A and B are shown apart, each in its own frame.
Chain A
Amino acid sequence: MKIEEIKGRGIFVKGDDIDTDRIIPARFMKVLDFSKLGKYAFYDEREKHPNHTFSDARYRGASILVANKNFGCGSSREHAPAALIGFGIRAIIGESFAEIFAGNCIANGIPVVTAKKDDIENLMEVIKDDPASEIKIDLASDRVEYGDFSFGICQKEGHKRCLVGGTWDVIGEMLENKGKVLKIRHGLPYVRRF
């Protein structure tokens, strides 16, 4: 499946360094599959702040999350993107992302794109003023559009090609290289036990 654009309503979580323990507290990680984690997204944050965007009915059904710097830092838990996906998130626009989190998103076909601070803040304001506004992320042309406005986004070249080319599930392609894998493996001194 190729993912070239994402359209939908927005939701935002303000603040730098939103860690994966905030996205999903560890006590909800004792599960054997990822399909039912949506209700735990930002669980403790919502308990503490009743007006958290993830609790606000106006943002229900939103699919584009807008965030600030270093979103998803901390643990490697894929439970974090799984919780966001369970909530309905299909793409994230942020100032920057922690690497393992970004990789986990791409592995699930969720684009993580970065934009300038001012553009992010304007977009957050627009979503706040009118939660029903439609946002479009055009991955192929590296742009975000909403209303009469638009701004440029950055994507890691590899991530972009994975999504736009429909090759973000890499197992098939990597299995085709099995012959090469065996050769590389056999050439490693530690595999050959020196």
Chain B
Amino acid sequence: MGKSLLDKVWEMHRVAELKSGLDQIFIGLHLIHEVTSPQAFSMLRDRKLKVMFPENTVATVDHIVPTDNQSRPFKDKLAEEMMKAIEQNTKANKIRFFGLGSGKQGIVHIIAPELGLTQPGMTIACGDSHTSTHGAFGAIAFGIGTSQIRDVLATGCLAMSKPKLRRISVNKPLQKGVYAKDVILRIIRDLGVKGGIGYAYEYAGKVFDNFSMEERMTVCNMSIEGGARMGYINPDETTYEYLKGGEFAPKNFGNAVKFWNSIRSEKNTTYDDEARIEDIEPMVTYGVNPEQCIGISEKIPENADEDALSYMKFRRGEPIKGKKINVAFIGSCTNSRISDLREAARVVKGRKVHKGVRALAVAGSGQVKLQAEKEGLDKIFKKSGFQWRNAGCSMCLAMNPDKLIGDEICASTSNRNFRGRQGSPTGRTLLMSPAMAAIAACEGKVVDVREYL
């Protein structure tokens, strides 16, 4: 029986079996941010423990940073306190920190890949559920809570049990206007938000083979929305091409590639489960979790959850196409990379944001923003009426000033349509691809982007 990438990476990092029967797993890269780490550093101080491997730890700020005026001190005193805490903690513990003004700050799941920190075969943990993003490189990457951040800081390790493995294949070429976001939303719809509990997802097949790294990241990013704590794609030439030249990418690249090739899942691997998904169209959520989504040509199902519909103020049997929107948000760790912005700008070019719609384009990192400006994308967005913002999590989770108001409906490229997620307790989120959100901004309603390309 062949070994999967998960098997190989797990074995390589397994330190010992603990008394509980859980494995002690070494963590090769520990990413931290301002919201879930300060409490962990306090726990270390309380126990008089030190950071064991500061050189394996990298910090940035993303969740609470305003995306308009980033001058310090922040107006929000609580946010300012959290900024100070991560600055002090990283300094005191000699941890590399990409803060505001460093030019390398941004959403943690955007900057680690773009700097070449994220590499195949690593174990990567971060106090954020969307750490699954890094699986796009063939890393075993997953979100952890604050007590576990404390554990990684103090010991370089985590106590975990190895998940089961499900292979999800998508082979049929995607139509024009159908994107990575649609693929992962469709996977979550078919397998459900609980389907991945206890599993890691391995995405395989021609569609993923042909995807760019950025598209792969969009898919792996939302593994957790399907209940799978981690999701990965076997590394290949596309991965290596992306990594080449990255600031922290290996200098002995040839040797690295040999190693990376050796960790790929073998052909005769047996999976605990397999799923196949084909015939995907642009997807839009109609409810309050990411499995509650439909193709743009479909109607809200007759068996749709009543609570979800009463929150959304939608009815069974209604089409999602034509739903009016108030806000459009292009950003988040799911969809704020340069290719996402290019795709959105392509749609927006020559069009105007619909009257009464508030539209935000938020680059995922300082470097993405700079690149977009080099390409003139900022001008396209601004000319059409979009606000062009600085890097941060922005309106994905509303821990910063970017929020919905009242029961506004937002066409959003983020990852969660939970009740209240975008900052208003009654706010409504429709998840979709960047191209779909961009055209919705211009039309003032949900439309089928395929009719505009």
Contact = CB atoms under 8 A, between A and B. Distances in A.
Interface in B345-368: none
Contacts of B420: 21-22, 25, 44
B22 A158 contact: yes
A141 interface: no
B155 interface: yes
A180 interface: yes
B322 interface: no
Contacts of A168: 20
Contacts, number: 211
Interface string A21-56: 110011101111110000000001001100000000
A81 B145 CA distance: 10
A165 interface: yes
Given A17-B193, A74-B129, A171-B47, A32 B81 contact: yes
A161 interface: yes
A119 B20 CA distance: 28
Interface in A69-119: 69-70, 73-78, 81, 96-100, 103-104, 107-108
A178 B19 CA distance: 16
Contacts of B129: 74-76, 100
A30 B145 contact: no
B35 interface: yes
Contact of B256 (A30, A47, A194): A194
A148 interface: no
A40 B259 CA distance: 48
Contacts of A97: 197
A129 interface: no
A99 B229 contact: yes
Given A17-B193, A30-B78, A181 B18 contact: no
A181 B157 contact: yes
Contacts of A81: 145
B235 interface: no
A97 B198 CA distance: 10
Interface stretch (A5-13, A57-65, A182-190): A182-190
Contacts of B19: 161, 165, 167, 173
**What class of interface size applies to chain A in its complex with B?**
35 or more
Interface stretch (B9-17, B99-107, B296-304, B431-439): B9-17
Nearest to A191: B28
A163 to B, nearest CB: 9
B174 interface: no
Contacts of B150: 171
Interface string B241-272: 00000000011100110010000000000000
Among A29, A69, A189, A191, max chain B CB count under 10 A is at: A189
B398 A181 contact: no
A1 interface: no
A17 B227 CA distance: 10
A30 B16 contact: no
B8 interface: no
Contact of B255 (A156, A171, A194): A194
A165 B18 CA distance: 12
Interface string B193-236: 11001100000000000000000000000001001010000000
A44 B419 contact: yes
Contacts of A25: 420, 425
Classify the secondary structure of B's interface with A: loop
A183 to B, nearest CB: 8
B87 interface: no
Contact of B416 (A21, A34, A70, A191): A21
B144 to A, nearest CB: 6
Nearest to A104: B145
B414 to A, nearest CB: 12
B451 interface: no
A67 B229 CA distance: 21
A51 B369 CA distance: 47
Among B64, B148, B398, max chain A CB count under 10 A is at: B148
B51 to A, nearest CB: 13
Interface in A146-184: 156-159, 161-162, 165, 167-168, 170-171, 173-175, 177-178, 180-181, 184
Given A76-B129, A171-B151, A19 B289 contact: yes
A162 B26 CA distance: 19
A37 B221 CA distance: 28
B197 A181 contact: no
A184 B146 contact: no
B135 interface: no
Given A47-B425, A171-B154, A107 B229 contact: no
Contacts of A185: 26, 53, 156
B18 A17 contact: no
A193 B252 contact: yes
A21 B255 contact: no
B110 interface: no
B147 interface: yes
A175 B155 CA distance: 6
A159 B21 CA distance: 9
A74 B349 CA distance: 35
A104 B145 CA distance: 6
Contacts of A19: 289, 416, 418-419
B188 to A, nearest CB: 12
Contacts of A193: 250-252
A151 to B, nearest CB: 21
Given A77-B36, A104-B147, 17 more contacts: A16-B194, A30-B81, A30-B82, A78-B39, A99-B227, A100-B142, A100-B144, A103-B144, A104-B146, A108-B147, A161-B19, A174-B151, A184-B26, A185-B26, A189-B255, A191-B28, A194-B259
9 A-B pairs with least C-beta separation: A107-B147, A104-B145, A30-B78, A78-B145, A76-B143, A194-B255, A78-B146, A44-B425, A161-B20
7 contacts: A17-B289, A48-B426, A78-B36, A100-B142, A161-B21, A190-B28, A194-B259
